[in-house]
Structure 1
Amino acid sequence: SHTMEVPLLAASQSAWEKVLRQVGNAVVFIDSKAGECIHWSVGLTTLLTGGAFAIKELNAYKASYFGYSQEPIENAGRAVFISAAPYSSIQVDLCDIICQSSFHAVLLVTVPHYEPQNLIPRLRNDLLQWMGLGSGNVKDFHADVLCFPFFYAPLTDSVIMLPPFGDLFPILDVNKVKSFGSKPNALSSKDLASTENLAISLDSLLNQMSVADVVFSIGNLSSAVATALEDFPSVHSRRKTAKHRMSVILIDRTLDLCFPTSVDSKCFLDKLLCALPHLPDHTNDIAVNMSQLAQVTVDSTNDEALFPGCIAHNDSVSQNVREWLFHKKDRDILINLHQILQSKISPGSKFATRVKPEALEKDVRQFRGNIKKIQENSGVLQIALAVVQALTGEHAEELELVLSTERVLRQNVATSTGSNELTGLLPQITKLISERHIRGLSLDALLTLLVLLYSLIGTDMNFPLKEEVQLQAAISTALFEDQEYPGLVHDILLPLEANKEKVDMVASHVFSILKAVSHTRRDLTKYKSILKGQGQSMPAEYTPLLQRVIKDILDPSRPLIPDMSCKSAGLRDLLKSGFSMLLNKQQAPVTQHPADQPNLLIMVLGGITGGEIRSLQESWAVSAQSLAGGTLFLASTRLLSPNDTLQAVLKSSPPPL
């Protein structure tokens, strides 16, 4: 089979360019998820350079008294709607906007659908009806609907995020902890809809890549998506005619929450995500304060940059630098950025051999006032400032403290794997919680550490009940005391001015979430533990789940992976299992192995970190599959920082009433 050349970044760029040809003189309405996809592909400014008449946010029209009705768009005859949300959720907005305007032509760019031939005529009809409401004659109007399979954010040519599913996260089942051997929870109707929509998106991505896929899954949500995918009629025709063969592995994020809650990543992208806030309404990019480039002093009171920079830029220099954020060491990133900036601003000058963040900041400041040079190098300047801010901001101190605490706790867990009760660990955190203000630690950072701990020990070990009770009381007190400067728990679970009783209830709920975190791998066999004992005298080592999965897939001896279920049974397997069921009523073991296909797509549902992307790519690079010309693609719903992870975990289980 020939090498699979499917550059996802380039593919999405050429697809968006086709859409952009249609925005000239039109009003463009776009929602934030679609905006995030364009942002990582061709960049949002292309809407303006494409000649759009005006750009409006689609989801801002929920409140009609405040939104659209006050500013009907005069003299705009055409509108382009770009939405990464399912049609049913934007129908009312579309109707409102179109009925109040005088458009004669409308284009709707919407998400893929598994039966486009039925959907498109219905949608066109809706749009025509709304345009014609004022005048009655539908003949004068024109409506087009495009089911667009490129609503993803390409970080590189082989790594994509899925902004439309940025909030998707496997449920942490609080009840599972209480009842052993219980059935997995039925998915809620909202999750079922997301599962179905994600399967449709995955299906359309595989169609774009022309792939005959075999789908494997680990975890409940992944299994539901794999099952939904298998039920589409288009799957079988694609598998017959596709150019390439690929194994697709879907994995639930919640099976290993240690990596995304850790601040101990070697990957610089993770350091950026840890240190800087996200761009408003974005799940992957970060907001960079650009005031160093301004000639005026910018006094921004609440840390929110007025016109933030970011790291998604599609010039070739920025794309190279972005690859470095995954793979290079801090030191090398600083030196390389210094060399790029120096060569742009004073060609021929000597490069420093050691570069501190402050020196790089000085390099950036040399561009002040030189508008032409700033425009030419805008992308790399923004990334350079992000690097400086990640290494020097005031959060750097808190991160150091969290890092040393995390290392001590891990060390403690690692050296006590022989016993099944871990004493003395939780009291260390209880003490930190009560001293958090003196030490400059936020409650969020400490709760994130707890998620890491509970995920790490799984069901192999447990903490003494008495210590857990004391910890829960400390969390409750802290939540009660911190109501003036609320953290994530307050935002997500606590109403304003809650009384002590309500706060106690929430603290108990947070605790049951932690317990649920430790139970996610309970029903697995091979991957039940992510701590590997290394013999008597050596401490146990945490081996990230994703690393173990790819190692097993690529292992030439093809070990069985019992925790991975395969939904795509080949015909041979069906026949075999049919016969064996006649013979011995036992289901034959699945004989498909992910390494049977030359290419691999690993997709993590619930988010991924830079460090995981890096380690998966490094494992692949030295594998037989890679040497034979196979390609590894990585996908996830979003990039995760420790803070993002805590937020997702707290939202993942319905709060007590």
Structure 2
Amino acid sequence: MKLVHVCFKSHDDRDLLDWILPISGYMEIFKKTSLSIWKSIAKLVKNSIIFIDNYSAECLHWCGGVDLLFENGAVCVKEFSSFESGNPNQNNAVFIISSPIAGETESILQDIIKSSSFSKCLLVCGLDSQVQSYASGDESFNEMYFEELCAKVSNWNKRKRCSVEAIHFPIFMAPIADNAFVTPAFDMIFPVQKHDLDKLEIPGGGSNAVSLQDLHFYMFPREYRTLLRMTAGSFRSFFHNLQCKEEIFAVGPTSKVLSTQLSNLSNQNKSSYPNKIGILFVDRTLDLMSAVTHSEKSLVDQLLGILPGFPCHYNNVAIDMSLLCTTQTSRIDDDLIYSGCLVPDSKALSLLSYGINNKSTDSVDMVKGKLITAVEEEGLEDDLDKYDSLQTIKGLVKAFQGNPGGILYNSALLQFALAVVQLLEDPVLDVWKTLSTKEKLILQQLGDEPDGIVKSLSRIAEEETMCFQDICSLLIYASCALSACGDSQNTLSSMIYKVLSKTEFSALSESFITRYHLDEKSWEDPSKLSSVSDDITDTITNLRSNYLQQMNTLKLSEIEPPLHQPLLPQVMERIFNQNKPELQPDIEHVTTGRSDLLKLGMSMFRKVVPPRPCDYPVLVIYVVGGITTSEVAQINKALEKYSSGSDCQVVIGSNRLVSPSDIVDSVLFDDNLHPDVRC
């Protein structure tokens, strides 16, 4: 048995240390560092079979793709699953695992090892030993965790002489745009809501004894604590490898708990670092209106909200590529795979970044222009309809039929173009636009007749095109917009009951069925429907509380119609405002170390100016609970307006990209306090 527990900079990637010196280029460093991690892993896969879990596979997709492994000598790449194993002639195995190696994950690893015959096993772990040991149930840090893990794997192996290594790499970040990333391994994290307080472990009292502001780490169930610790530990590991000390800020109660965890882990590390980096955590639940808005401006938001998801990925879509095939069928068999997906931008082609930061119509025109150029460069013939963007794009794509070289060279462009075609042909796009109009009407009616909003929603619910998820998204939007609608609670419950009663069981989301323990028989029970309606009503009416004092997502005026003000641009404005307005209490600087406490004590005798998030060369904005690409664009526009006099660069992150339907599930139906962390 052989144990190796190192971080990626130990693997001859010394150029990473050179990147740290020109700290002004950190936005590019985030992307390069993620790619460097995978390049380091790829150096270890020669002549090996690879078993990789879904989270790691999604990160790899945005950081070089599976070709990176094959180019470095990987023999085969398989899913990390109990149904997979190595062939008798495959001696070397590499396991790339983002989840804690405990519980179900450990069982899968054991199944693969026992059904194979490897002489050498390499475990690439996305979590460090401290987080791994906590996920395994050990409250204290088990310094021997990786050594004990290697001993287990060695005992499972059929061969008596087997070399086992365990290496930690922070493989949790997937860069999706120029200055934006997601962390797929933490896609299930969502801020604690008011209706979750009943489920917390509160000593000496029930949920009425505490508010969301009173939350602390050990109130949460074990699964939720593990997910918070995984998130904090991964960021700490990433910043450690960048040789940066983080200054931590939080907006929202759950973000504060997460920030405290990161601060505690940071203070346990006694290393001194040459640079500092700011990180600001923001609760998604502080601005649900932005998350459930059906934006007509963002093409990428529409793609993510309408097209089917890519299998086993959380931030991608499945794209029908059959238009490139010379043999066309009237019906695509479900057993046949024609699936493409969104791919990372390159220096030569920034499709996603353009689609995120520009209007939807401009993005479609950009795709059309890029296709025309590609067709001309390939010397292909096309049949253009200059007056119809959809038909023009389809005609340009068809021009590549029978030209495999051209398809391969322009694969990123063709996949994005076919995503646009699929979107424009999808009838759900019309429903999306209708919902966008309804949201504008809700704001308009808020200024004219607030009490009539629920009644208007009741009429909307009668429309044939509206499904239950659509109605729920409008209810969340309206509830966040209303200052008070307690008197309308009975009307709201009655409306939800009517919508549920006309909804087919097959049309319900899986999370909804799981939440209320439904089956086809119980779905026909009026008393069950009534109980579900009341529960949804209680949850929705509790969404309206605004916990911020300096910022408000709704602007009300006696002379102007109500205006929705997205939260994240407001946060940017307060941070980068040259007048330096007070950030507390909404934007809180989280301090837990001795030096921080000393500064706090000194503030009793003399004025101590608290740090601001923009005081550092780089600021990471991380939204806990998901972000829309419209919000990424809004942040970028706010930075153009307010950060002109600052040297701070902003990197935007979240655990996932979300659609209105995702938010409906997370807010109303998902059991967020008990996420499946496979341990």
What's the TM-score, normalizing by structure 1?
0.87
Please tell me whether residue 337 in structure 1 is matched to residue 367 in structure 2: yes
Please tell me whether residue 436 in structure 1 is matched to residue 466 in structure 2: no
Please tell me whether residue 613 in structure 1 is matched to residue 638 in structure 2: no
Shift of 1:375: 1.1
SS in 2 for 1:468: helix
Give 2:668's aligned residue: 650
Matches within 5 A, 1:344-355: 344-347=374-377
SS in 2 for 1:143: strand
Distance 1:452 1:589 in 2: 41
Contact 2:295–2:630, Cα closer than 8 Å, also in 1: no
Distance 1:371 1:135 in 2: 45
Distance 2:35 2:146 in 1: 24
SS in 2 for 1:633: strand
Distance 2:638 2:313 in 1: 30
SS in 1 for 2:452: coil
Please tell me whether residue 634 in structure 1 is matched to residue 652 in structure 2: yes
Query: 1:364 and 1:501, CA in 2 relative to 1: closer, same or farther beyond 3 A?
Result: same
Contact 2:188–2:672, Cα closer than 8 Å, also in 1: no
Query: Quick one: which of 289, 301, 307 aligns to 1:276?
Result: 307
Shift of 1:476: 2.1
* 1:61-82 CA distance string (max 9 Å, x none): 2xxxxx35xx662211111111
Shift of 1:368: 1.2
Distance 1:271 1:572 in 2: 47
Matches within 5 A, 1:503-514: 503-514=529-540
Matches within 5 A, 1:430-469: 430-433=458-461, 435-437=462-464, 440-457=465-482, 461-465=483-487, 467-469=488-490
Please tell me whether residue 73 in structure 1 is matched to residue 87 in structure 2: yes
SS in 2 for 1:361: helix
RMSD: 2.9
SS in 1 for 2:543: helix
Give 2:204's aligned residue: none
Distance 2:91 2:597 in 1: 56
Distance 1:480 1:503 in 2: 7
Contact 1:263–1:402, Cα closer than 8 Å, also in 2: yes
Contact 1:251–1:604, Cα closer than 8 Å, also in 2: yes
Query: Quick one: which of 256, 264, 267 aligns to 2:298?
Result: 267
SS in 2 for 1:312: coil
Contact 2:267–2:593, Cα closer than 8 Å, also in 1: no
Distance 1:274 1:342 in 2: 28
Query: Quick one: which of 306, 325, 329 aligns to 1:294?
Result: 325
Give 1:112's aligned residue: 127
Query: Quick one: which of 528, 531, 548 aligns to 1:524?
Result: 548
Shift of 1:49: 4.3
Please tell me whether residue 168 in structure 1 is matched to residue 194 in structure 2: no
Contact 1:436–1:443, Cα closer than 8 Å, also in 2: no
Query: Quick one: which of 568, 573, 577 aligns to 1:555?
Result: 577
Query: Quick one: which of 155, 173, 181 aligns to 1:152?
Result: 173
Shift of 1:475: 1.6
Query: 1:26 and 1:402, CA in 2 relative to 1: closer, same or farther beyond 3 A?
Result: same
* 1:382-419 CA distance string (max 9 Å, x none): 00111222233111221122122111112112456xxx
Counterpart of 1:190, as a letter, is E
Shift of 1:180: 8.8
Contact 1:292–1:365, Cα closer than 8 Å, also in 2: yes
Distance 1:510 1:234 in 2: 42
Counterpart of 1:456, as a letter, is A
Give 1:419's aligned residue: none
* 1:332-358 CA distance string (max 9 Å, x none): 323332232222223489999876122
Give 1:84's aligned residue: 98
Query: 1:303 and 1:357, CA in 2 relative to 1: closer, same or farther beyond 3 A?
Result: farther
Counterpart of 1:647, as a letter, is D
Contact 1:160–1:636, Cα closer than 8 Å, also in 2: yes
Give 1:64's aligned residue: none
* 1:206-244 CA distance string (max 9 Å, x none): 223332221011122211111111111566545x3133x
Distance 1:503 1:102 in 2: 54
SS in 1 for 2:58: helix
Query: 1:53 and 1:577, CA in 2 relative to 1: closer, same or farther beyond 3 A?
Result: closer
Shift of 1:636: 0.3
Contact 1:216–1:567, Cα closer than 8 Å, also in 2: yes
Counterpart of 2:501, as a letter, is F
Distance 2:74 2:196 in 1: 52
Query: Quick one: which of 559, 568, 574 aligns to 1:546?
Result: 568
Give 1:533's aligned residue: 556
Please tell me whether residue 322 in structure 1 is matched to residue 352 in structure 2: yes
Query: Quick one: which of 133, 138, 153 aligns to 1:127?
Result: 153
Distance 2:187 2:668 in 1: 15
Query: 1:516 and 1:210, CA in 2 relative to 1: closer, same or farther beyond 3 A?
Result: farther
Contact 2:318–2:341, Cα closer than 8 Å, also in 1: yes
Question: Which runs of no fewer than 5 residues in structure 1 stay unpaired?
Answer: 62-66, 417-421
* Mean CA deviation greater in 79-88 or 49-58: 49-58
Shift of 1:135: 4.5
Contact 1:415–1:540, Cα closer than 8 Å, also in 2: no
Distance 2:428 2:413 in 1: 23
Query: 1:580 and 1:449, CA in 2 relative to 1: closer, same or farther beyond 3 A?
Result: same
* 1:171-227 CA distance string (max 9 Å, x none): 222166994964645222211111111100111222233322210111222111111
Give 1:242's aligned residue: 274
Give 1:197's aligned residue: 230
Give 1:483's aligned residue: 504
Counterpart of 2:531, as a letter, is M
Please tell me whether residue 257 in structure 1 is matched to residue 280 in structure 2: no
SS in 2 for 1:28: strand
Query: 1:615 and 1:369, CA in 2 relative to 1: closer, same or farther beyond 3 A?
Result: same
Counterpart of 1:642, as a letter, is P
Distance 2:147 2:49 in 1: 23
SS in 1 for 2:88: coil
Query: 1:40 and 1:2, CA in 2 relative to 1: closer, same or farther beyond 3 A?
Result: closer
Shift of 1:477: 3.2
* 1:428-464 CA distance string (max 9 Å, x none): 111222x232xx111111111111122233xxx2115
Query: 1:11 and 1:426, CA in 2 relative to 1: closer, same or farther beyond 3 A?
Result: same
Shift of 1:98: 1.0
SS in 1 for 2:277: strand
* Mean CA deviation greater in 539-548 or 483-492: 483-492
Identity level (%): 24
Counterpart of 1:436, as a letter, is E
Contact 2:263–2:592, Cα closer than 8 Å, also in 1: no
Question: Which runs of no fewer than 5 residues in structure 2 stay unpaired?
Answer: 1-20, 132-142, 199-206, 674-679
Shift of 1:621: 2.9
Contact 1:248–1:600, Cα closer than 8 Å, also in 2: yes
Contact 1:272–1:386, Cα closer than 8 Å, also in 2: yes
Counterpart of 1:616, as a letter, is I
Distance 1:558 1:474 in 2: 47
Please tell me whether residue 426 in structure 1 is matched to residue 454 in structure 2: yes
SS in 1 for 2:507: coil
Contact 1:479–1:490, Cα closer than 8 Å, also in 2: no
* Mean CA deviation greater in 538-547 or 340-349: 340-349
Give 1:410's aligned residue: 443
* 1:298-352 CA distance string (max 9 Å, x none): 445699983311112454444x112111122233323332232222223489999
